[in-house]
Each structure stands twice: as C-alpha cells, then as structure tokens.
Structure 1
Amino acid sequence: MSFPYTSGDTDGDALSTALHVITTERDALTHLEYLYRTNELAAKNLSRAVSQLVHTIHRGGKLVVCGVGKSGKIGRKLEATMNSVGIHSVFLHPTEALHGDLGVIRSIDTLLLISFSGRTAELLLMLPHIPPTVPLIAITAHTHPSTCPLLSFNSPDMTILLPAPLHIDEESSFGLSAPTSSTTVALALGDALALATAQKLHNAPGQGPAEVFKGYHPGGAIGAAAATAAAINSAISTPSTSMTTSPSLVSLEDAGMKLSLDDNQPTNSSIDDDGGGGGPICASPHFVPIDCIPTVLPSRHPSSSTDITNKNDEEIHILDILLSAIQNPSSKSWVKLSPTSVIPPRLLRSCTTTHKVDSLVSALQSRGEFVSIDASKWMSIRASTSIASAKVVLEETMGIGEMMLSSPPPPPPHHQPSSGRDDEEERRNIVISVVDDADPSQILGFVAGEDVHPSLFSPPSSSPANVSETTT
C-alpha cells in the first residue's frame, strides 16, 4: 500500500520552512562566533574553562555534565565527545543526583551545567549539595554571571560563565519555542570547549588529540582506517609473524579490546620513548581512572533448588576476571580482585591464556601462582609527575634491582622451588598507582610500567642454550 503524494505549494512551504530553520541556526552560530571574537569577558571565560578542565584532568579528576530535557541530550553528546578525545567525563541527571548519584561528583572534579534559561529548577535544587571545592562551568543564554541564578551558589572565582545567547528568540523566529537554535549554539560551544581542551591537554609528540582520538575509536570507519594505517606501518617496519589466538580471548577481541597474546611484547600503544614526557602521567592515554576499574565478582551462585551447595560457586574463577574485563571496556583490561589488589592488562592476558577458565583464583594463589598485584607492591607517583620523570624513576628502580615489589607469598609445604618465573613476572608487571598531589593517600588511577617506559620491558636477546640429551 502506498500513500498518495501531492505536490504543489505544500512542498514549497515545507522547503521554505526547512531553509528558514537552517538559515536561522546558521545566523545563530555566526552571532556566537562574533560574541567570542569581540566580547572580552566571553573570550576570557572560554580560556578559563579550557585551563580549568586541563587542571582537572591533570589532577585525575573528571568533568561531570548536567542538563535537563534537550539540554540534557546535548550534555550526553558532549560527554561522548569529551571522552573520545581523552577528557574523562560522565553525564549526571540532576534528579538522579538527588536520589543517591551525588557520589559521582568528587572534590577534584569540575561541573558543567547546560541550561539556556540559566534557572532550570532541577539544577537549582542540586547545586546546594555540591562540594564547595568543585568549580562550576555554565553554558547559558546569560551574558554576565551576575544575572545567572545557576552561578549564585558559588564565589566568582569558582564559577565560569560561557554565554550562548541567541540573536533572535525561537518563538519569534519559528512560531514556537522548541529548542532548536539554542541547542545548536550550546552544542557548538561545547564542541569548541572539548577540542580546545584536548589540544592543550595532549601536547606530547606523537600523542596529540588525533592520536588519542584514534586510540579511543577502534570501531567503525575511523577505527578501520586507523587499523589499516597501523597494519601498513607494521608490515613495513617488522616482519610478519603467525600467531594462534586463544579461544578464551576471542570474546575480548570481539569486544574491541585488541590484546596481544605475546607476553614478551608491551601493549600495542605505548608512550614514545624518544619524545613525549612533557605532560603529566595522569594525562597519558594509558592512565585509567580508578572509577573505571571494576572489582571482580563471582558469576556463579548456588542453586536455590537444592540444599547441597558448592562453596566454590561463591569464589572467583579465571572466567570471572575475563568477564569483568569484557564487560567494562573503559577499564582497558584493568580489573581489581579487591580494593588493595589489582590485575594489570599484561597479567590478565597471562592468566587467561595460562590457566583454565574454571580455575579457582584462591587455589592458584595457594600454589604460589602469580595472579594479582597487592597494594604493598604498587609504585606510587603523584598525578602531576611528568612522564619523563616517571621514566627516570622506573630506570632507577629497575637499575638498582630493588623493585618496589615484595616477594610472592611463601609456597606451601612440599612445593617445588620456583624457577624464578614469578620474580620475572613481578618485574614485568609493575603497577604504578597515580595519587593526588594534595592527598597522596587518595589513589586516582593506575598505569602500567610497560606503558610508561616500554623499552625497559622489552624481552632481552637470548643466546642459544646448550642442550644436552641423554639416552637410555
């Protein structure tokens, strides 16, 4: 069945309306550009907002975006854009915040509010409960902070107004006040903030915004283009090798987590040894905020249909570690066994390829197997420490042979002497905990030693061993 099609003035009216909307929104963007070119306060505040976000990320904090209605949808898009260029961001609905989600906001975070009116009720109800140390950025139609209710809760030095006014109100232009031009200018201003911040944040050679974006975008046409370029470069620089994929890691690869199965190789994307080092370690694309790292939970539970239960069902298996990594791609293959015990990506690959997926973690640990890295073995570095300085610390630590790692747990009775493999595993799985400058007891996230200084973890060249064969 087909619907009747009529042409004539109706089509012309529709096209005229559509073009009017496009023209009006284009003019709104032109007006926005002119404002930031000519208004000293607007230009200054945009620069302040960029600097504030860079400072927040350097400290290991994040951007929390809030908005309601269409502004909330713009906020979700900006959250995605920020994350794609390496600016850790989350979206928080103000109503959900008042019902338990306020814990998302930490004292080292920055809050971005999107509200054309500048007086959205849900946002006004939330603001009194925000920690006073949290800076506030507002995208709104107001052109001066003194007229914006959202900025009345904080001192001027803790607030930044990013004006996004319209040259003509939507009802006058379109006959209804549906968010159109207002959301267009808010989105454009948010995109400008994201890219300007990324440009200032990621300034190490070979680790600019473009490289960071490609690293966070392995899928789609962008990911395919980046993978093709990487494959071409790899084919030119290194001979091809064959590799058998472990069945236990097929799902990881399907989930977009490109893990090397060769434990002798550092992770594919490493900080360039010859350059970089200028930015702080917490701005590295390899830094993973602690909030993104899941704690492994047992996936098996006793059946309620029987009185006989197996206590092993309540314990953690290798499969549970694997599932935690798959289900939390933002963790970049980092998982926690507990708040004081982590499994870095290299060790996760080793565990999932060396042991059966139904192996009990507790059983492996009781045999002296190297499964996780306890807090006593972490190397702590302040968030503001440059990558170059972190490399020096690693060189000095490994050079003198006194790792900030304790020996593995004592073996059980009758355990065969270790061949030294566990000690070598510890050396190759250095965990760097990145801590807050102001409060070193607060861990902001983790980065693997091999990602900071990959050349230190390259496999040593081995000479042929003399093998003596005995005959019987």
Structure 2
Amino acid sequence: MDKGLSCSPTTPPATENDTLREQVLQTAVHVLATEAIALQQLSELYSTHPVAQNGFVNSVQSIATSIRSGGKLVVIGVGKSGKIGKKMVATFNSVGLLSVFMHPVEALHGDLGILRENDTILLITYSGNTPELLALLPHIPQQMTVIALTSHTRYDTSTITHARPSIILLPAPIHELESKSFDLSAPTTSTTCAMALGDALALTVAKVVHVGEDKFPKDVFRRNHPGGAIGLGIGKAAVKLINVATLFKEMSILEEDLSPLPFISAASSDSGVDGCDWSRSASPRTVQTTQATVLDCLKLAVRSPKGWVRSQDNVVIPPRRLQAVRDPMTNILDDKAKLAVGEEKWVRIDGDNSVEEMKTKIRAARQEGKGEYNYPDGTVLAVMANRVTVGVLELEDLLQD
C-alpha cells in the first residue's frame, strides 16, 4: 500500500444490538403513529358527525347544570376504563368541577348513596355492553342524566343505549382494532381516545362554568394546584395566597349558630327565670351547644371546594380536622375533637403575598421559635383582601411541596 494514501474508515457490520435497537424504535414509532391517527380521526368526527356533536354539547350542558346547582359529575367504569375514569375525575376536580369516581360493583353494595338528584353520571365502556354497568343501570334514578362514553357512533348498535334510551351518547371510536394494530387486544389506542375526550369535556365545561364569575379556568386551576412546579409558578408570575385560598362564598354552610352562649347557673327560684345568673364579668363563662355531628359536616363537605364547611357566624371546620375524627356521630363541638375554629383563633395574612414568601416566613418562624406567632400544626390561615377576610387555608396545605 502506498504510504501517501490514507485509509478511509469502513462502516462496521450490523450487530445483534443494532437490530434490536431498530426493532425497539420501530415499535415505539408505530404505536405513537397509530394513536396519533386515532386522535386525528376523533377530532374529525367531532367536527362533522351530528351524533358526536350533539352528544358533546348535551354532555357539557348537563355537567355544567349539575355543578351550578350544587351537584357533581359521577364517573363509573371498570378495568382500564375505570383507570381512565379516575384520571378524568382528577382533571375535573383540578379545574374546580366537583367529580367523584364510583366503582359499579361497590355501587351495588352501598355506594349508590353517593348519588344526589342533581348529579350527572358518566359511564365509560368501550364495548357498550360491560356487564357490571348494565347491572348497575336499572338502579340509577330515571330522572338523572346518564352519559355513555363508548366506541359506538349510533344509538341502535349499543346494548347500553338500548337499556336506557334517554342516555347521551359520547362516541370515542378508533379507526382499527388494537388486535389488528398491535397483534394484541390490550386497551391502548381506545384508552388514549377516551382520555383525550375526557380532557376536552373537562376544559369545555370549565369555560362554561367559570367564565363570567370574575375568574377564569386558569385561575381556578392555579388555586387548586398549589403544589409542585405548577404551584411554584415556574416561568410565570408568582402565585398569590388569594389564588390558593378556599373562599367563603364557595363553602357549604352549616345552618347552625356555633357562637358561644352565656353560661346559665341555676339559683333558688321557682320561676326558673329570675334565678338565672347571666355572667357579665370581663371573662364570662360560656357554653356552646349544637346537635350537628361530623356526619352532617361530611355531607356538606362533599359539595365544598377542598372540603371546608362554615357556619353562619364565621366558625369554620377545616377538612383535615374533619377527616381525623373516626366516629361520624361525634358532635362538632366535642372538646377532644376540636373541630370548630372561630375567627378569634385565625391567623390573618395578606392575600397579595406570594405563596413562596409566606412559606419561607412561616418555616423560619417555626424553626426559630421567634416572632409574634409560631404557626403550630392545625393553624387556620385567614386570607385577607382589602383588609377583609375572604377565605381560609390550612397551614399544612400551604407548606406541602
């Protein structure tokens, strides 16, 4: 060989690892492309198909009406559809739309008690003939609106729509069966389409319900998501305390006055009136009475953002304290439970302060044990706007990362 010539590097032969790499990437791209096609066709369906369009509009109207009237969305499904349903519930709740998940089997064993007359039901069944849902359907009151998220695009092809003709059909078909796309029937493309349609439903209802109330879906979401990168407002303006507080106007109200009454001591009098000694000292003895129980408050908490309940006299019952009581028949003024927190025990903070600034201040005060307040566990923070208390926040919720 001529020493003046340089040897060009040759491409090494393909190895078994290279072949495996190609197979891995080919499979991944095939799955992604298949699901992308399914989503594109689902978008086209809702742009052109009358049954899909009417079903979506009617679903939005029903859910919005339920939320506005103090009801909720109840999502029901089994298997992978149940998993998708739970994700939908999380999305609806994060944008301020009360939603719960109910398993159809558990529903037949007592969980039907979750339902209220102004709720909307969303059934998720790709096949449209899931036995557990068909068994449950007769036990759902006829006056309640039921939506079926299914692969069917016609009312006459689904068992579940035959069983309940008034049902709202919300189609989520796929362009080819998963057994043909991937050579196995595991729910993949179908669950992707169902989840995407659930997202579309949640965001649309949020716009309908929230816009026009001096707030927007993004503000509601920010208030309901104080934790993580979103809560920290990375790349955006800092989140303020007013954005994460539960506002009084949104809370369920316990129709009882929990303010203290003067302590009455019996004296020697036949009338039972003149003998009563109403203490007028600087620190009078007081007594509080109510028939309300933890169970009563739990019923109200379900309809309140983050589970707060308040009485008409500015006494609040924080959700963490409520959840900690084991006996549902415990009186809410029980000394040991310490459920009711009057405004004299609130720690007032300015709602314009940023969440991060307040967290830093509180953590420093707790660590050093100095300052006018050391913020013990269970502290109720009263959030102020223009020098008026407009909402509350539990200390633990503020400090969590």
TM-score (norm 1): 0.53
1:334 Cα deviation after fit = 2.9
1:148 Cα deviation after fit = 1.5
1:224-278 CA-partner distances (Å, limit 9, x unpaired): 11896245x99xxxxxxxxxxxxxxxxxxxxxx97xxxxxxxxx5659xxxxxxx
Task: Report the secondary structure of 1:8's partner residue.
Answer: helix
Q: Which residue of 1 aligns with 2:79?
A: 69
1:455 Cα deviation after fit = 7.0
Counterparts of 1:74 and 1:347, CA distance in 2: 35
Residue 69 and residue 348 in structure 1: after superposition, are their counterparts in 2 closer, same or farther (change >3 A)?
closer
Q: Which residue of 1 aligns with 2:174?
A: 166
Equivalent positions of 1:387-398 (< 5 A) are none
Q: Which residue of 1 aligns with 2:55?
A: 45
Counterparts of 2:18 and 2:314, CA distance in 1: 64
Counterparts of 1:458 and 1:107, CA distance in 2: 34
Of the three residues 188, 197, 203, the one matched with 1:180 is 188
Amino acid aligned to 1:229 = A
Contact kept, 8 Å, 2:206 with 2:217, in 1: the verdict is yes
Contact kept, 8 Å, 2:252 with 2:309, in 1: the verdict is no
Contact kept, 8 Å, 2:315 with 2:341, in 1: the verdict is no
Of the three residues 198, 202, 205, the one matched with 1:194 is 202
1:62 Cα deviation after fit = 0.6
Counterparts of 2:195 and 2:176, CA distance in 1: 18
Residue 206 and residue 221 in structure 1: after superposition, are their counterparts in 2 closer, same or farther (change >3 A)?
farther
Amino acid aligned to 2:155 = P
1:106 Cα deviation after fit = 1.7
Task: Report the secondary structure of 1:35's partner residue.
Answer: helix
Amino acid aligned to 1:114 = I
Contact kept, 8 Å, 2:147 with 2:169, in 1: the verdict is yes
Equivalent positions of 1:209-288 (< 5 A) are 209-225=217-233, 229-231=238-240, 286-288=250-252
1:8 Cα deviation after fit = 2.3
Contact kept, 8 Å, 1:334 with 1:345, in 2: the verdict is no
1:87 Cα deviation after fit = 1.0
Instruction: Say which structure is richer in strand.
Output: 2
1:392-416 CA-partner distances (Å, limit 9, x unpaired): xxxxxxxxxxxxxxxxxxxxxxxxx
1:151 Cα deviation after fit = 2.0
Q: Which residue of 1 aligns with 2:266?
A: none
Q: How many residue pairs end up in the alignment?
A: 283
Q: Structure 2 regions of 5+ residues with no counterpart?
A: 1-14, 255-288, 322-331, 347-381, 391-401
Contact kept, 8 Å, 2:69 with 2:118, in 1: the verdict is yes
Task: Report the secondary structure of 1:71's partner residue.
Answer: helix
Contact kept, 8 Å, 1:335 with 1:343, in 2: the verdict is no
Q: Structure 1 regions of 5+ residues with no counterpart?
A: 235-256, 259-267, 272-283, 291-315, 337-341, 353-359, 365-370, 374-420, 426-449, 460-472
1:58-84 CA-partner distances (Å, limit 9, x unpaired): 111110001111111000000000011
Task: Report the secondary structure of 1:113's partner residue.
Answer: strand
Counterparts of 1:144 and 1:289, CA distance in 2: 44
Amino acid aligned to 1:334 = W
Equivalent positions of 1:322-337 (< 5 A) are 332=306, 334-335=308-309
Counterparts of 1:89 and 1:333, CA distance in 2: 13
Q: Which residue of 2 aligns with 1:140?
A: 150
1:148-185 CA-partner distances (Å, limit 9, x unpaired): 211223343xx210111111111111111110100010
Residue 180 and residue 287 in structure 1: after superposition, are their counterparts in 2 closer, same or farther (change >3 A)?
same
1:333 Cα deviation after fit = 6.4
Aligned residues: CA RMSD: 4.1
Residue 346 and residue 47 in structure 1: after superposition, are their counterparts in 2 closer, same or farther (change >3 A)?
same
